[in-house]
């Protein structure tokens, strides 16, 4: 279980905010080097910082929004006005964006974080550019994260470019054709679009995303069972290293997590690579980071921001779609050895902290329910 802020005797929400300004230099340089293990002391600090931030979200800022802030902090009055204003502006969504904005700004300001895509390593840049989709007519860039409604966004892009008649057409999604990736453009074309286009991405609770990837790929997709499942079983299941008949179709969640612990985040398959590494939110300043948890609303506000015609809407969930419920996630997380989860979290810590998701609660009490 990660340490809690209270254990350190830090004070109320502001303490959490101060916690964020700790020096991330060593931690982030190790992230950039592609080394996957943050030094343990820094890991500890990052966890404390994100814990403090969460405290701020849960206790401090959100409460502060209900009533005028006593000290009248810079942007709060504006938010409050918008809340009362006509047109039903979604206050909760704005607060979340604001918190994400500040968190990302604070953490990305650290010296060794990348400040533009040109300061990324060749591998990091390649991954990023292959995940950014371009629409020149409506002037936007969308960084897709697999397992975060990316097929539906790709449908929207195809409809906008005329390659698909409607988002509801019942065809299997081809994830490559009729889409323009930033990686296919020249450096000066890339530079122009990064500077002038509306840039957005969507994020999801990191453990839920991993569980979704696990259930989909190892439960349903034979090519993944062959490519990854076989290797995982041979590596991590006792006595299976040399077994010929391993089919890789019965990988357990714990085996999958153990595999992730041993993999280099920069070389992972995109379905489980951290969202941070796919979209590089420090190198690209996104105008909007939507949440899977509020997909309909957030997708809608993006579509309005980029001024697409009214007939283009975000697709409904597919009927075959099996959501990961809170209960399912609880069940899988609580069935993991605590030690394993503790080893995993540092790899995904930037996804938790930059996108402001609480770390999973793995206390015995919580798991008893
Ligand atoms: C967050 O930051 C982006 C880019 O600086 C800006 O476009 C957006 O309006 C900000 N969102 C909020 C809610 O402040
Ligand atoms: C974890 O869950 C337990 C039981 O639901 C709760 O009492 C505790 O406060 C939670 N801890 C955190 C850090 O959320």
pLDDT at position 247: 87
Distances (CA, A) of 115 to 144, 283, 285: 20, 5, 9
* One-character DSSP codes across 333-361: HHHS-HHHHHHHHHHHHHHHHHTT-PPP-
Average pLDDT score over residue span 291-299: 93
Residues 47 and 344: their CA atoms lie apart, in Å, by 13
Ligand 2 centre to CA of 361 (Å) is: 6
Decide: 6 in ligand 2 pocket, CB within 6 A.
no
pLDDT at position 152: 92
* One-character DSSP codes across 283-297: TS--SEEEEGGGHHH
Residues 189 and 197: their CA atoms lie apart, in Å, by 11
Best residue for ligand 1 mutational test, from 89, 288, 301, 356 (most atoms within 8 Å of Cβ): 288
Nearest protein CA to atom 3 of ligand 1, as residue: 287
pLDDT at position 145: 97
pLDDT surpasses 90 at 14: no
The answer to which of 28-32, 87-91, 256-260, 324-328 has the lowest mean pLDDT is: 28-32
Sign of CA dihedral 297, 102, 343, 120: positive
Q: Among the atoms of ligand 1, which is closest to the Cα of residue 101?
A: 1
Q: Among the atoms of ligand 1, which is closest to the Cα of residue 75?
A: 14
Q: Among the atoms of ligand 1, which is closest to the Cα of residue 286?
A: 4
Task: Supply the DSSP symbol for 7.
Answer: G
Nearest in space to 267 (alpha carbons), one of 37, 31, 34: 34
Ligand 1 centre to CA of 292 (Å) is: 18
Nearest protein CA to atom 12 of ligand 1, as residue: 98
Ligand 2 centre to CA of 199 (Å) is: 36
Bridge-based pairing of strands 288-291 and 132-135 is unpaired
Distances (CA, A) of 362 to 342, 353, 365, 369: 10, 17, 8, 11
Nearest protein CA to atom 14 of ligand 2, as residue: 361
Sign of CA dihedral 300, 304, 305, 308: positive
Question: What does pTM read for this prediction?
Answer: 0.78
pLDDT surpasses 70 at 83: no
Ligand 1 centre to CA of 362 (Å) is: 33
Residues 6 or more apart whose CB falls under 8 angstroms from that of 79 comprise: 65, 91, 94, 95, 98
| Under 8 Å between Cβ of 145 and 278 | yes
Whose structure tokens read 């002391």? 41
| Half-sphere exposure (Cβ direction) of 271: Cα atoms closer than 13 Å | 15
Nearest protein CA to atom 8 of ligand 1, as residue: 287
Residues 288 and 309: their CA atoms lie apart, in Å, by 20
Ligand 1 centre to CA of 134 (Å) is: 20
Ligand 1 centre to CA of 210 (Å) is: 28
**pLDDT tens digits for 319-328?**
666 778 889 9
CA–CA–CA angle 21, 23, 29 (5° rounding): 130
Q: Among the atoms of ligand 2, which is closest to the Cα of residue 363?
A: 1
| Under 8 Å between Cβ of 265 and 282 | no
**pLDDT tens digits for 245-283?**
888 889 999 999 999 999 999 999 999 999 999 999 999
pLDDT at position 88: 57
Q: Among the atoms of ligand 1, which is closest to the Cα of residue 97?
A: 13
Bridge-based pairing of strands 140-143 and 198-203 is parallel
Ligand 1 centre to CA of 353 (Å) is: 18
Tokens at residue 256, please? 């999958």
* One-character DSSP codes across 275-327: HHHHH-TTTS--SEEEEGGGHHHHHHHHHHHTT--TT--PPPPPTT-----HH
Q: Among the atoms of ligand 2, which is closest to the Cα of residue 369?
A: 5
The answer to which of 25-29, 118-122, 230-234, 278-282 has the lowest mean pLDDT is: 25-29
pLDDT at position 241: 87
Ligand 2 centre to CA of 275 (Å) is: 26
When comparing pLDDT for 170 and 349, which is higher?
349
Residues 6 or more apart whose CB falls under 8 angstroms from that of 264 comprise: 34, 36
Decide: 301 in ligand 1 pocket, CB within 6 A.
no
Q: What is the band of 104 on the pLDDT scale with cuts at 50, 70, 90?
A: very high
Rg (CA), the chain: 21
Tokens at residue 245, please? 């008949």
**pLDDT tens digits for 129-159?**
999 999 999 999 999 999 999 999 999 999 9
> Taking the chain, what is the end-to-end CA distance rounded to the nearest angstrom?
17
């Amino acid at each position: 279980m990660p340490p809690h802020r209270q254990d350190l005797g830090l004070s109320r929400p502001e303490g959490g905010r101060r916690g964020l300004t700790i020096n991330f230099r060593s931690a982030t340089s190790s992230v950039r080097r592609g080394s996957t293990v943050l030094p343990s002391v820094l890991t500890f600090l990052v966890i404390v910082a994100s814990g403090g931030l969460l405290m701020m979200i849960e206790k401090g800022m959100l409460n502060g929004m209900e009533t005028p802030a006593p000290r009248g902090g810079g942007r709060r009055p504006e938010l409050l006005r918008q809340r009362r204003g006509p047109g039903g502006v979604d206050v909760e969504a704005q607060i979340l964006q604001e918190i994400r904005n500040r968190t990302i700004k604070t953490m990305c300001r650290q010296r060794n974080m990348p400040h533009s895509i040109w300061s990324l390593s060749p591998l990091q840049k390649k991954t990023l550019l292959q995940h950014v989709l371009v629409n020149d007519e409506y002037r936007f860039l969308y960084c897709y994260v697999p397992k975060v409604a990316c097929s539906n966004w790709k449908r929207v892009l195809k409809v906008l470019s005329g390659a698909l008649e409607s988002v509801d057409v019942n065809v299997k999604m081809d994830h490559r054709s009729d889409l323009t990736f930033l990686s296919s453009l020249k450096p000066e074309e890339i530079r122009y679009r990064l500077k002038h286009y509306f840039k957005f991405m969507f994020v999801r609770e990191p453990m839920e995303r991993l569980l979704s990837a696990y259930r989909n790929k190892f439960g349903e997709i034979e090519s993944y069972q062959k490519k990854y499942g076989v290797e995982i079983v041979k590596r991590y299941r006792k006595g299976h290293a040399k077994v010929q008949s391993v089919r890789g179709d019965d990988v357990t969640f714990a085996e999958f997590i153990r595999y992730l612990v041993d993999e280099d985040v920069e070389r992972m398959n995109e379905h489980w690579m951290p969202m941070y590494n796919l979209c590089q939110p420090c190198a690209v300043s996104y105008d909007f980071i939507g949440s899977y948890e509020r997909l309909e609303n957030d997708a809608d506000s993006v579509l309005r921001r980029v001024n697409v015609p009214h007939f283009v809407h975000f697709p409904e969930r597919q009927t075959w779609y099996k959501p990961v419920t809170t209960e399912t996630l609880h069940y899988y997380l609580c069935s993991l050895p605590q030690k394993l989860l503790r080893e995993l979290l540092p790899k995904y810590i930037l996804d938790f902290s930059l996108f402001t998701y609480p770390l999973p609660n793995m206390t015995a009490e919580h798991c008893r329910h």
